[in-house]
Amino acid sequence: MSEVIVFFFAAAIILVGAVGVVVARNPVHSALFLVQTLFGVAIIFLIQDANFLAAVQIMVYAGAIVILFLFVIMLLGVDSAEELDVDPIAGQRPLAVVLGAALLGVGLTVVLVAAKGITGARATAGGEHALDNGLSDVERIGRVLFTEYVFAFEATAALLTIAVIGAVVLTRRAAAADMLPDREPASFELPPLAPAIDEEEEH
Amino acid sequence: MLGQYLPLLALLAIATLFSAVSLVMSGLLAPSKPTPPKLDAYECGIVPSRDTPARFPVRFFLVAMIFIVFDIEIIFFYPWAVAHRGLGLFGLGSILIFSFAVFESFVYLIGNGALQWGPLKQVAHPDGSVSSKRTTTTTVRRVGLEDRIPGPVGTEEAA
Amino acid sequence: MILALDPLYLTNIGLAVVLIALLKVVLAFAIVLVAVLFMVWFERKVIADMQHRIGPNIAGPWGLFQTLADGLKLLMKEDLVPEHSNRFVFKLAPFLAIVPAFLTFAIIPIGGNFESKGGSVRIFGYDTYLQVADPPIGILLFLAMSSIAVYGVMLAGWSSGSKFPLLGSVRASAQMVSYEAALGLSVLAVILQTGSLSTHEMVADQAAGGFLGFIPNWNIIVTGFVPFLIFLIAGTAELNRPPFDLVEAEQELVGGFHTEYSSFRFAIFFLAEYLNTINMSAIIVTLFLGGPSGPVLIEGIDWAWGILWFLVKLFVFLFAFVWFRATLPRFRYDQLMDLGWKLLIPLSLGWFLFLAALNIGNDRGWNPGVVVGVTIVGGFAGGALLMAAIRTARTERISQEVDAHG
């Protein structure tokens, strides 16, 4: 019973956050609503005894990825008062409606088709007795990840290496100009010098 | 199992409540006489003359990106560290390969100067920044007088 | 059997259990507030002493109530919200700073009899741990909270709509993010020894055994001192405390990210900062120095000894942080980033693999000398590769520089 209460609580957090991401006009507010949604998802993980995943959800998504979003929003100068009437991509609004409706349709179909299959059983393998063999969820993940799924794990390492290379290559040109010790940083524009005093002395 | 997290929720509520109540109390106790100088951005007493920079060097952005990758890689070490005794030699091998990939991308990063900050000692004044043309009148900028005195200090007396 | 669970929750969860849990929460909250008041006073007094000043000495005996007086003063000061600020985020940021700080304290075991009762004490007929919560994610909560703390700093600076706070917060968030990686890697060494993420298990593991009868089985010794050192350095940087306090380098940035904050909003940031200092010291004690474990000298009051040992150990680090501030000059930003990324991260990764290989080798009966030898060879190879990369980057930059400026 308590789990149901927690679930609805978490679901409310998630939905409010998700709607907030879309509705908020200020991109920083959107990012904050996104953090709220991610916290809600972490609570859902906790209900499923997936403690480690909940922690990872917060550490990686809230602690790293949204931080990057915020860096981009704050540091690359996205204007908070952006013109909302002009679409950057032509026809994106009708397309969004169509895609949204399609997604909703697919989601509803899945729920309706799977409704018969919903048993209320726990996601953790072993059902109610998931933790009875004395292993924490972290240890179970460790055992499975590094034996059965070891290939996927090593492939992840390769993927992350590619991500690093991508990040460096994409920022390299900008970085090359940027890395020079700036006498006057290119990104800060200095105003013209104020009239110096010696000009005044002439008249 | 969720009972374990109940005290955390309680602590979160208390901490939030404490801050909120203190702020409300502060709002009731404190005077409120805002004046334009008080509400302006603080710049050591000078009237702000430039907008806050909207853009920052890409290096900060790169650090955040690299951190995501390394954070994910470090996260993978946790389940391994907890379960490593049961995984034996096979586990050690798999983590060594993984670490090699981590280290390799790390060396690539450093080799490409992605994490270089600050000045270089080796190249001193490469563009002749020290020259006789640079004097105090050309390099010292007088700022912050715009909204206060029509001209620089002492203009009225001189005129 | 359920691992790492406070015995309080093993009984049927009734009203009494909930009340005890709430009592612990309220007590922890009170302890935290008093500890912060004390810590601020302690820092001012010790620094004053190191600088041959007297320090606070008017309010209360030895100036003990100075912080309280300052807090009350801040409560009655005018609260300004700058004109160009983003009001909502500006008001939200202090909460994002203080709440993670409080939550981190929840996982710290502050007492308990680890000699004979497995770290629990008896309150009103119930056995329980002397820590607010012992969730299975344990130490990850600390890491998660320190990544959330970045938001407080970042948003405070950005929302102020002013230059100095923005510069301070950009510096700070890049710094905190960088050192989080080193922090996470050095924690791994402890997890290798404990095989669990729970802070309680970590303390229990260190309380057991020992060498030669008098050297304790603390992780600082077992993990070979290096992870401890890395954690201490990275922890200081994560706290933005001297010598890594570039965030609020007064000469450059006035007050850093909280320049525009006044009245009690500023007090909340201040509170969070000192609370984080206490938390960090306590986490170091928990991870590396056996937390509240220690001998029970008088049987009758066995609950008191854990708290006593914990406080004694805690003081060492509280003093150390103050000492750093009084002694060490501030790092330059590039030195800070170089130290974090180019030394601490590779070193902690290498040390983690070394400890892991030692553990596995121990299980399989390898000669530890061989493991050490292979590690030294591997370490040298990695180090040489890293040095080569650093040199390449530097050479390339010099040539760019020469191209650009003639």
Q: Exposed (0-12), middle (13-18) or buried (19+): which is C256, by Cβ within 10 Å?
A: buried
Kind and range of the H or E element at C128?
A: strand C126-129
C-facing residues of B in 78-137 (CB < 8 A) are 78, 81-85, 88-89, 91-92, 95-96, 99, 102-103, 106-108, 110-113, 115-120, 122-123, 126-127
Cis previous bond, B57, omega within 30: no
pLDDT at C215 over 90: no
User: What tokens were used for C243?
Assistant: 């010598």
User: What tokens were used for C161?
Assistant: 């709509």
Q: If we measure between CA atoms, which residue out of C340, A167, A163, A168 comes closest to residue B113?
A: A168
Structural domain contains residue C283: yes
What whole-number distance in Å separates Cα of residue C142 and Cα of residue C109? 13
Token pair 């916290």 is at which residue? A39
pLDDT at C3 over 50: no
Average pLDDT over residues B42-61: 71
Tally helices (H) and strands (E) across chain C: 14, 2
Structural domain contains residue C120: yes
- Residue A86's pLDDT is 67
- Residue A18's pLDDT is 93
What whole-number distance in Å separates Cα of residue C85 and Cα of residue C166? 11
Is B18 touching A (CB cutoff 8 A)?
no
Is A23 touching B (CB cutoff 8 A)?
no
Among left, alpha and beta (phi > 0; psi -120 to 50; other), residue C133 is beta
- The chain-wide mean pLDDT, for chain B, equals 76
- Residue C322's pLDDT is 92
Start-to-end C-alpha separation, chain B: 82
Given a contact cutoff of 8 angstroms between Cβ atoms, the answer to whether C237 and C181 are in contact is no
- Residue B150's pLDDT is 55
Given a contact cutoff of 8 angstroms between Cβ atoms, the answer to whether B39 and C83 are in contact is yes
Q: If we measure between CA atoms, which residue out of C328, C288, C54, C315 comes closest to residue C186?
A: C288
Helix (H, G, I), strand (E, B) or coil at C227: helix
- Residue A19's pLDDT is 93
User: What tokens were used for B151?
Assistant: 């001209």
- Residue A14's pLDDT is 94
What whole-number distance in Å separates Cα of residue C119 and Cα of residue B7? 19
Structural domain contains residue C375: no
pTM, full prediction = 0.84
What whole-number distance in Å separates Cα of residue C378 and Cα of residue C369? 14
Distances (CA, A) of B140 to A194, A198, A199, C291: 10, 12, 14, 56
Structural domain contains residue C276: yes
> What percentage of chain B has pLDDT greater than the value 90?
6
Q: Exposed (0-12), middle (13-18) or buried (19+): which is A142, by Cβ within 10 Å?
A: buried
> What percentage of chain C has pLDDT greater than the value 70?
93
Give the pLDDT band (50/70/90) at residue C6: low
What whole-number distance in Å separates Cα of residue C188 and Cα of residue C234? 14
Structural domain contains residue C384: no
| Residues from chain B contacting residue C133 (CB–CB below 8 Å) | 4-8, 11
pLDDT at B60 over 60: yes
C-facing residues of B in 2-61 (CB < 8 A) are 3-8, 10-12, 14-16, 18-20, 22-23, 25-27, 29-34, 36, 38-44, 48, 50, 52-53, 56, 60
What whole-number distance in Å separates Cα of residue C37 and Cα of residue C129? 25
What whole-number distance in Å separates Cα of residue C25 and Cα of residue C308? 20
Distance between B17 CA and the closest CA of chain A, angstroms? 19
Token pair 């460096």 is at which residue? A168
- Residue B25's pLDDT is 87
Helix (H, G, I), strand (E, B) or coil at C127: strand
**Dihedral sign of CA atoms B30, B35, B40, B43 in order:** negative
The residue count of chain C comes to 406
Given a contact cutoff of 8 angstroms between Cβ atoms, the answer to whether A122 and A47 are in contact is no
Start-to-end C-alpha separation, chain A: 87
Please give the residue that has the higher pLDDT: either A111 or C7: A111
pLDDT at B129 over 70: no
**Beta bridge partners of residue C130, listed in sequence order:** C111
User: What tokens were used for B11?
Assistant: 């602590």
Structural domain contains residue C361: no
- Residue A137's pLDDT is 81
User: What tokens were used for B17?
Assistant: 């409540």
Please give the residue that has the higher pLDDT: either C199 or A134: C199
| Residue of chain C with shortest Cα separation from B97 | C353
Q: Exposed (0-12), middle (13-18) or buried (19+): which is C344, by Cβ within 10 Å?
A: buried
Given a contact cutoff of 8 angstroms between Cβ atoms, the answer to whether C217 and C209 are in contact is yes
- H helix intervals, chain A: 2-23, 27-47, 51-56, 66-75, 92-114, 137-145, 150-178, 197-202
Q: Which of A128, A145, A164, A171 has the most B C-beta neighbours within 10 Å, making it the best mutation to test the interface with B?
A: A164
Distances (CA, A) of A166 to A157, A169, B67, C161: 14, 5, 14, 33
What whole-number distance in Å separates Cα of residue C155 and Cα of residue B68? 19
Distances (CA, A) of A149 to A62, A143, B91, C383: 26, 9, 12, 31
Angle, helices B6-29/C66-75, rounded to nearest 10 degrees: 70
Distance of CA A25 to the CA centre of its chain: 18
Each residue's pLDDT expressed in tens, for chain A with a length of 203 residues: 678 888 899 999 999 999 999 888 888 888 899 999 999 999 998 888 888 899 999 998 988 899 888 888 876 665 555 566 666 777 888 888 999 999 999 999 888 887 776 666 555 554 444 554 667 788 888 888 888 888 888 898 989 999 888 888 887 765 555 544 444 444 444 444 444 444 444 44
Distance of CA B16 to the CA centre of its chain: 25
A75 and B61 within 8 Å at the Cβ level: the answer is yes
Structural domain contains residue C132: yes
pLDDT in tens, C300-354: 777 778 888 889 999 999 999 999 988 888 888 888 888 888 889 999 999 999 9
Token pair 């510069």 is at which residue? C167
- H helix intervals, A48-86: 51-56, 66-75
Chains contacting B (3 or more CB pairs within 8 Å): A, C
Contacts of A93 (CB under 8 A, 6+ apart): A87
Average pLDDT over residues C222-236: 90
- Residue A198's pLDDT is 45
Given a contact cutoff of 8 angstroms between Cβ atoms, the answer to whether C269 and C169 are in contact is no
Structurally, how many domains does chain C consist of?
A: 1
Q: Which of C21, C140, C393 sits opposite B111 (nearest CB)?
A: C393
What whole-number distance in Å separates Cα of residue C101 and Cα of residue B15? 9
Q: How many CB atoms lie within 10 A of CB C259?
A: 27
Please give the residue that has the higher pLDDT: either C263 or A100: A100
What whole-number distance in Å separates Cα of residue C172 and Cα of residue C245? 9
What whole-number distance in Å separates Cα of residue A75 and Cα of residue A72? 5
Q: Cα Rg for chain C, rounded, in angstroms?
A: 23
| DSSP per-residue codes, B1-41 | -GGGGHHHHHHHHHHHHHHHHHHHHHHHHS-----HHHHSP
| Residue of chain A with shortest Cα separation from C401 | A180
- Residue B54's pLDDT is 65
pLDDT at C100 over 50: yes
Structural domain contains residue C261: yes
Is B93 touching A (CB cutoff 8 A)?
no
pLDDT in tens, C59-71: 888 888 888 888 8
Burial letters C74-84, b for 16+ CB under 10 A, else e:
bbebebbbbee
| Residue of chain B with shortest Cα separation from C5 | B4
Burial letters A109-124, b for 16+ CB under 10 A, else e:
eeeeeeeeeeeeebee
What whole-number distance in Å separates Cα of residue C349 and Cα of residue C234? 14
User: What tokens were used for A69?
Assistant: 């979003």
Start-to-end C-alpha separation, chain C: 72
Q: In which domain, by residue range, is C264 found?
A: 7-344
Token pair 């849990």 is at which residue? C21
Give the pLDDT band (50/70/90) at residue C396: confident
